[in-house]
Amino acid sequence: MSNSDIRIEQSRSNPDRIVGAVLRTLPEYFGFESAIVEYCENARDKKYKTFVASIGKSQTVGFAMLVVNSETTAELWVMAVLREFHGKGIGAKLVDAVETEARKKKCKYMLVKTVGPSQNDPNYFKTFNFYLKQGYELLMECDFIWVGSFCAMLLKKL
């Protein structure tokens, strides 16, 4: 699979099905069904835009959701790539797509929240490093946004 085989498109019909299907393949990252249900509800809400990555005829391999929080700031709400496709450049292309959309909306910054390094979760260390690689910087880490886990907020100037 080469980088040019990966297609990214905004999903206009049933994005919640794609979100739920991909998240349920990654229980070590998304272990709470209630959180998955909430992400699916977000996907049905027009405020959130879902970008879907596919390869071949139409095999869905990942997605990223964007929400515009204010006139200046957008948020990469949640993203995931099927495990067998990690490390093939799909995540980077999804980040690029949501950033392009946020720039079109005249946003100056992109925010992303993820489980922070203080949590000592080996899986989320990888996620955190992935965001650093995409040009995001740690703004703050705290234990009062999510119950029971450290939340890292990362920011990138668009």
Binding mask 25-64 for ligand COA (x = CB under 6 A): -x--x-----------------------------------
Beta carbon nearer to ligand COA, 64 or 107: 64
**Closest distance of CB 121 from ligand COA, Å:** 10
User: Among positive and negative, which fits the CA dihedral 12, 58, 79, 41?
Assistant: positive
Q: For residue 92, give the 3-state DSSP assignment.
A: helix
Q: Which of 92, 138, 145, 158 binds ligand COA (CB under 6 A)?
A: 92
Pairing of strands 109-115, 73-81: parallel
Which strand ranges, in their side-by-side order, compose the sheet holding 109-115? 7-10, 48-55, 59-68, 73-81, 109-115, 149-157, 137-146
Which residues 114-133 are close enough to bind ligand COA by CB under 6 A? 114, 126-127, 129-130, 133
Pairing of strands 109-115, 137-146: unpaired
Strands 7-10 vs 59-68: parallel, antiparallel or unpaired: unpaired
Q: Does 80 bind ligand COA (CB under 6 A)?
A: yes
For ligand COA, the binding residue among 37, 70, 87, 108 (CB under 6 A) is: 87
Q: How far is the CB of 83 from ligand COA (least distance, A)?
A: 7
Q: Which residues bind ligand COA (CB under 6 A)?
A: 26, 29, 78-81, 86-92, 114, 126-127, 129-130, 133
